[in-house]
Amino acid sequence: MYGDILRATGTYRDSEVELFEKEVRLREVGKNELLLRKGEIARTVCYLLEGAVRQYDILPELEHNIIDLHLAGEWFFNHESLISQRPSALFMEAYTDCRFIEISLETIHYLTGKSLAFLQLNKVLESAFQRMHFFDQSMTPVEKYRHLLDNRPRLIQTFPLKIIASYLKITPETLSRARNAIANGVIS
């Protein structure tokens, strides 16, 4: 059932896929349900089947400081907390109703003990780290928005511009100007 999700991370025998499918847990959560609270330790890795998830912190001057956004067809977890096993500095919340598979860190260790093929799941951890460093801070707002259009356009179709602006670390007004510049063929 979830073999294609696993096989996207590497090469596995049928018996390994069956073991993976036996160990993962299907979860369904409602819109705005917290999946991880600030101060909790992340203990799971998830693959989003349906819906959208956001990771954020709450800062005094902002409603939400968006750190990462996740869509169906992507792995998601709180990278820093999971890797360090320290309390999360962020909240993780279902932005919409969601369905996802979840696998605990303990289960990943169990699977790796059964077969070294499961070390290929490290690709999931690496891709999350790369996505967290998606934007070079030296990029202009136009470059950031163009990069988003080129690499993760579904975010723009799923999340409101206020959330996109926070994710890009620019104001909504600056995002509006960047969008207009791109629409008018201005490159900066």
pLDDT of residue 6: 94
pLDDT of residue 123: 87
pLDDT at 130: 62
pLDDT of residue 107: 96
Look at residue 178 in the predicted model and tell me its pLDDT: 95
By CB neighbour count within 10 A (0-12 exposed, 13-18 middle, 19+ buried), where does 67 fall?
buried
**pLDDT at residue 122, as a whole number:** 87
Query: What's the confidence (pLDDT) of residue 138?
Result: 81
- pTM of this structure: 0.89
Fold of 3-133: Jelly Rolls (2.60.120)
Give Dmax over CA atoms of the chain in angstroms: 56
Closest CA to 83 of 120, 37, 43, 127: 43
pLDDT at 129: 62
Position 187 scores a pLDDT of 64
- Mind listing the pLDDT tens digit of every residue in the chain (188 residues)? 899 999 999 999 999 999 999 999 999 999 999 999 999 999 999 999 999 999 999 887 767 899 999 999 999 999 899 999 999 999 999 999 999 999 999 999 999 999 999 999 988 877 766 665 566 678 899 999 999 999 899 999 999 999 999 999 999 999 999 999 999 887 65
What's the pLDDT score for residue 137?
Answer: 72
Picking from 168, 154, 166, the residue whose alpha carbon sits closest to that of residue 74 is 154
pLDDT for the residue 124: 87
Amino acid (one-letter) located at 29: V
Residues 100 and 52 sit within 8 Å (Cβ to Cβ): no
Residue ranges per structural domain of the chain: 3-133, 136-188
